[in-house]
Structure 1
Amino acid sequence: AYDTLAESGFFFAFQSTAAISDWSLTITPRYDVQNGGTITIPFVGTAAPYPSAIDTSVVPGGLPGNISNLTVSINNYSHTFPNDVGALLASQNVPSPMVVMQDAGNSSSGVSGANLVFDDAAATLLPFLDGSGALKSGTYLPSDYVSDLSRSFSTLAPPYSDPATIGAATLASSFNGTDPNGMWKLYVQDFVGGDQGTIQNGWGLGIQCTCPADSQTQLMSSANPSSFNQSVTFTATVTSSQGTPFGSVQFFDGATLKATVSLSGGVATFTTSALSLGGPHNITAVYLGNTSFESSTSPIVAQTVNKAATVTTLLSSQNPSIVNSSVTFTANIARAFGGNAGGTVTFKDGATAIGAPVTVISNTAAVSISTLTIGSHSITATYSGNGNFNGSSNGLTQTVTPGPPRTSRSRRRPVSLPVPHSASPLLHSISLATSPPATAARCISPAWIRTRRPCQAILRCRAE
């Protein structure tokens, strides 16, 4: 169960000779949470259950603020030798658990049905051993009398925060300023055999919280307007009049959650290049708050995303080229912030299109032509752009030449000449005219061919 302020109302009376121009009232609520289940303490060892737990996060909306005051109650406690018993309180939000009571009580009389409340505002410690009075219901300071520190709670190793008389820990020093929400656990253990008992009605916590401090959240964009596929960083800065807020910030595009980021020094950033074209995108940063700081939401940043710029470059496969030879023109589309450029490229020779527009594939388009005439040609490539990219164009001057001049070459042909029969093919050189043009010839690869005339043979050779 938990309690908030009673609805019985408040009455305030002021008596003063001066007029009261302004006044205020700060009310800090107290929440009481209980686990009423019986805790059974055996002859020796850990109680059942061990530990006994209270989950304060079940309170609707959670407990606001941080702990400013804490009390612990042990309800209907009975034991034949209470000095054997120790109780340790742990919070999931505090690293070191605190001893609430240990080795306290009157061994001769035991304790029966006592309701114990531990409060830093109490006047006395629990009684200790014989002669100090029986342990009875009341409000006490947390008390620990185990001077040798030999008792360790099972499954929960020291160090512990020890109150008087062993240490100086208080409920305030151990738990104030921490988050009250979450799991609390009470570890009860009998350290000496021979006696037993119960905490019949379980235990509870009385938690008083400070109100969370104020917070303000501001949001900035690194580039607004931005371009398609451009990386944009949104920076949320959370401030407070009561210190530096901590926790998490959620970034939204309209109603769509884009990221949850932890604060560092009151600052959280979110970077994205995935904002769609157009806008405005209504970007907000929501600080979630916690028990120390209230939540807050930034004003809207209206982020506009424009088309990205492009640069077209144009290349020729050969420049100059020879008339009637094939030339390929290639257009490459560079994008300011990357991405794949769709659309088409139109190639022109002056005002005349070179074929149909070419579809851009992998940011490139190309066209080939072999009908360029001799002379200079102004070649242009114009990228059309598309929904995400602006268009662009570039050009070059293509020079077409007629090619090198043709040269005449003498034709080589077999030559047959009558020569004397007695001539040696190895000793004779023959000069002859070839047409066209006339040139001197030397017989190579000679071969004598005998004719029908007995006194004559023909030397067949090839002219150089």
Structure 2
Amino acid sequence: MNTASYRVQRLPASCARGSCLAVYLVAVAAFTAVLPGARAFTTTVNNINAPIPDGDLNGYQNSVTVSGLSGPVAHTSVMLDILGGFNGDYYAYLYHNGVSAILLNRVGLSGSNPAGYSDPGFGPNASANPFTLDDLAAVDVHRYQTLGASVNGAGQVTGLWQPDGRAIDPTSPGSVFDTAARSKLLGIFNGMDPNGVWTLYVVDASAGFQGTLVSWGLTVVPEPGVGSLGLLAFGMALCRLRKQR
């Protein structure tokens, strides 16, 4: 557990090539500069190396405890390292104080693709930047194959993505995913007390391929004051504009 002055995680992005990533990091640096007294919780749980039960909806869970933060949650992001398996099988969510955010919900599953994407996991890129889910990212992880995703040497998907957010049963038919509302993004925790237990649940919803939860990380930023998070949003908006050009 790490409760220290706010420090920047090296966050990758699907659009984070060259100047785009630089713009985002400058925005984050400005964010920290105007918050000399702000505190955040950042942790990475390494070397879990836990098999995710194949085709078992009970899944696997791992928890961290946040303490010592003042002010309600303003922003949350999650890093994942899942090795192997079949990405279209994975259902993952973050749970805190009776509320859950859907991180992954059988990515790629749709009416035209009843199995979802077959890539073997999610992980760091060649620069060791973690696979990260953040509401401020440019695009939805559920459609990553159509949105320029990159993979590392192990075949894991890399980058910075919006969480899935589709609050539907992971065993639903593919056609249900086509129209499902993304009502459970990480912003669902905003305004809540950040202190207490945060639990990651990872499920392999379909038998056939088994993966491993190697590690995961959590960053929780409490409300720092008016305007500060706007700098982060501004940086991400510039990234989007540069990607569109």
TM-score (norm 2): 0.60
Residues 1:137 and 2:158 are matched in the alignment:
yes
1:56 aligns with 2:66: yes
Residue in 2 that maps onto 1:85: 90
SS of the aligned residue for 1:97 comes to strand
What secondary structure sits across from 1:117 in the alignment?
strand
After superposition, what is the alpha-carbon deviation per residue over 1:400-446, rounded to whole angstroms, capped at 9, x for unaligned?
xxxxxxxxxxxxxxxxxxxxxxxxxxxxxxxxxxxxxxxxxxxxxxx
Q: Which residue in the other structure is 1:17 paired with? A: none
Of the three residues 95, 104, 107, the one matched with 2:107 is 104
Q: Superposition pairs for residues 329-344 of structure 1, below 5 Å?
A: none
Greater Rg over alpha carbons, structure: 1
Q: Within 5 A, what are the aligned runs for 1:139-158?
A: 139-144=160-165, 149-151=168-170
The yes-or-no answer on 1:119 pairing with 2:124 is no
Q: Check the 8 A contact 1:72/1:117 in 2, yes or no.
A: yes
CA separation of 1:41 and 1:136: change in aligned 2, threshold 3 A = same
**Hey, what's the Cα distance between the residues in 2 that align with 1:129 and 1:44?**
23
Q: Give the AA of the match of 2:217.
A: G
| Separation (CA, whole Å) in 2 of partners of 1:5 and 1:145 | 33
Ranges in structure 2 where 5+ consecutive residues have no aligned partner: 8-33, 109-115, 125-129, 172-176, 226-245
Distance in 2, matches of 1:112 and 1:31, equals 23
1:69 matched to which residue of 2? 75
- CA–CA distance in structure 1, aligned partners of residues 82 and 107 of structure 2: 13
Q: Which residue of 2 aligns with 1:322?
A: none
Paired residue for 1:405?
A: none
Residue matched to 1:440 = none
Whole-angstrom distance in 1 between the partners of 2:183 and 2:50: 28
Change (3 A) 1:67 1:6: closer
**1:182 and 1:3 mapped to 2: Cα distance?**
13
**Contact preservation (8 Å) 2:5, 2:39:** yes
Q: Which has the higher strand share?
A: 1
Residues of 1 paired with 2:166 and 2:221: CA distance?
28
The residue identity in structure 1 corresponding to 2:222 is C
User: Does the CA contact (< 8 Å) of 1:108 and 1:130 recur in 2?
Assistant: no
Indicate the percent of aligned positions where both proteins have the same amino acid: 24
Residue pairs, 1:24-39, within 5 angstroms: 26-27=35-36, 28-36=38-46, 37-39=48-50
Q: What are the equivalent positions in structure 2 for 1:346-365 lying under 5 Å apart?
A: none
CA shift in 2, pair 1:196/1:165, >3 Å: same
1:209 aligns to 2:222 (yes or no):
yes
Gaps of 5+ in 1: 8-24, 153-161, 213-464
Aligned mates of 1:88, 1:103 — CA distance in 2: 12
Q: CA deviation at 1:5?
A: 2.7
Corresponding residue for 1:179? 193
Q: Tell me: CA distance 1:63–1:193, structure 2 relative to 1, closer, same or farther (3 Å).
A: same
Structure-1 separation of matches of 2:208 and 2:6? 46
Q: Which amino acid aligns with 2:169?
A: S
Q: Distance in 2 between matches of 1:51 and 1:122?
A: 25
Change in Cα spacing, 1:145 to 1:40, as seen in structure 2 (3 Å) is same
Which position in structure 1 is the counterpart of 2:55? 44
1:4 aligns with 2:4: yes
Give the Cα–Cα distance (whole angstroms) in 2 for the partners of residues 199 and 44 of structure 1. 15
- Name the structure with the higher helix share: 2
Contact conserved, 2:56 with 2:204, CA < 8 A, in 1? Answer: yes
Counterpart in 1 of 2:143? 128
How many correspondences in the alignment? 174
Distance of aligned partners of 1:56 and 1:43 in 2 relative to their CA distance in 1, 3 Å threshold: same
Say if 1:126 and 1:165 are closer, same or farther in 2 by CA, change over 3 A.
farther
* CA-CA distance at 1:196 after TM superposition: 0.8
Please state how far the C-alpha of 1:182 moved relative to its aligned partner. Answer: 0.7
Q: 2:208 and 2:102 mapped to 1: Cα distance?
A: 23
Match of 2:241 in 1: none
Q: Are the equivalent residues in 2 in contact too, given 1:64–1:211 (CA < 8 A)?
A: no
Change (3 A) 1:3 1:96: closer
